[in-house]
Amino acid sequence: MKILDQHYINGAWVKPAGADFRDVVNPATEEVSGKMVLGTSANVDAAVAAAKDAFETFSQTTREERLAILDRIIEEYKKRMPEMADVITLEMGAPAFLANKAHAPSGIGHLMTARKVLETFPFEEDNGPTRVAKEPIGVVGMITPWNWPINQIACKVAPAIATGCTMVLKPSEVAPYSCQLFTEIMEAADVPAGVYNVVYGEGPTVGEAISGHPDVDMVSVTGSTRMGAAVQANAAKTIKRVTQELGGKSANIILDDADFEEVVTRETLSVMRNTGQTCTALTRMLVPADRMDEAAAIAAKAAETVITGDPTSADTTMGPISNAQQFEKVGVLIEKGLAEGARAVAGGPGRPDGIDKGFFVRPTVFADVTPEMTIAREEIFGPVLSIIGYKDEDEAVRIANDSPYGLSGAVQSADVDRARRVASKMRTGMVYINGAAGDLSAPFGGYKQSGNGREWGAHAFNDFLELKSVLGYHAAE
């Protein structure tokens, strides 16, 4: 049993007196795997005070000093990469292969990307006699989710360190073990005291205290759109910057010239990856209406190849939903899909055959989905694919854009120029053409209710920086 009974404040582990605890549940077994201390506003006050004091000196460090810190973090992370994969499997149910090949490496990937960007990032620009300086914004509050836990921690912490900011992090209460391990890595890397602080807890207490704190200069939050709106409203009282990476209901336009067997198979399996708990998951598959049955048959066949079960098994390709609340929500939405007339060609309600415990759901494919159905509009955040028919290319784009979200999208076509043209019409922050892989140096974020700001790579640095115009800087030269 893991006991997380201390916050990390000002370079030291702090055990609060008389604290309450929350159980951490293994989603594959529904058994308690540990306990996490619940922080209070007083703990946040202490962490913010430490970060504010540390900012005075850390904001003045040189590029070379911050590169050295990132180098030390990267080296310590490498030593504990297998352990990171193991705790992610335990806390949120990612299959072992995915934890080792994607989850754990994502953390070091963001650290290495930030380090590379920092080498040459222009912190000053000259415009005649005026110098425009890019300076660290200050104390950054960070609120991260459970679905890609270390990915979201690292993609915020790395650019903050690189730009000279200090921070207070609240990780997900559902998946705190990866944060605990990452904090041990930061401590071993000798990150200066007060630069990186962690307060465990829940959103209505710790999250609210961070977002509304007058000495927090910026909040970076990843989560649901509803949560992002609450954070922004609370932060508005102190006029601080808020960047948000929120929900999605991404459309995957499969054009009539695509290789359906290859593309539908690949894209169906991509939705099932991480048990569908990925904000960029392409959960709306748009196909020509007259090829609906063909696409449905291929997708159903692909879904049947998914092996659901014990996430520690090397054979498992899909683990459980990460928590009980989300498990219940996914089940309700699958039932609603059936009630509203969608045709389940794979999966459906209930746990997979042979599994009677754990937050497991069946990989589900719905055909004959219309754009008005709930499953076509709400983010399910589970392994559920909705196939929607369109009559022509223009209608496909209209359906794709008819969403309050705008995080990602995709186009599949044998004609790359055609795919590029369609991609240019999609109102999303990211578009994947023909199964393109992710890019840690590309800006990550969305339009509309999918948030604002951008993470990953050089573009992430700008959110952590303030602009200062120094007029007459070169006037005397």
Nearest partner of 427 among 179, 165, 248, judged by Cα: 248
Known catalytic membership, residue 466: no
CA 130 vs. chain centroid, Å, equals 38
The half-sphere exposure of 451 on its side-chain side, counting CA atoms within 13 A, is 32
**For residues 217 and 227, what is the distance between their CA atoms, to the nearest angstrom?**
19
| DSSP strand pairing (384-390 vs 364-369) | parallel
Count of CB atoms situated within 10 Å of the CB of 196: 31
Q: Is the dihedral of CA 287, 292, 298, 300 positive or negative?
A: positive
**For residues 408 and 444, what is the distance between their CA atoms, to the nearest angstrom?**
9
Give whole-number Cα distances, 367 to 32, 339, 363, 387, 477, in Å.
38, 13, 14, 5, 70
Contact 213, 44 (CB under 8 A): yes
Which residue out of 155, 165, 179, 279 is catalytically annotated?
A: 279
Nearest partner of 365 among 263, 276, 257, 426, judged by Cα: 276
Known catalytic membership, residue 165: no
Residues 6+ apart with CB under 8 A from 432: 282, 408, 409, 410, 411
Amino acid at 94: A
Which residue out of 76, 208, 245, 393 is catalytically annotated?
A: 245
Nearest partner of 210 among 49, 368, 82, judged by Cα: 49
**For residues 115 and 106, what is the distance between their CA atoms, to the nearest angstrom?**
14
The dihedrals phi and psi of 285, each to the nearest 5 degrees, come to -95, 115
Q: Report helix angle 149-163 to 81-92, nearest 10.
A: 130
**For residues 320 and 317, what is the distance between their CA atoms, to the nearest angstrom?**
10
Residue showing tokens 């999966």: 347
Contact 369, 285 (CB under 8 A): no
The half-sphere exposure of 239 on its side-chain side, counting CA atoms within 13 A, is 0
Count of CB atoms situated within 10 Å of the CB of 377: 15
Give whole-number Cα distances, 187 to 5, 144, 190, 192, in Å.
17, 20, 5, 9
Tokens of 359: 């937050």
Nearest partner of 147 among 22, 273, 32, judged by Cα: 273
Residue showing tokens 């209608």: 395
Catalytic residues: 245, 279
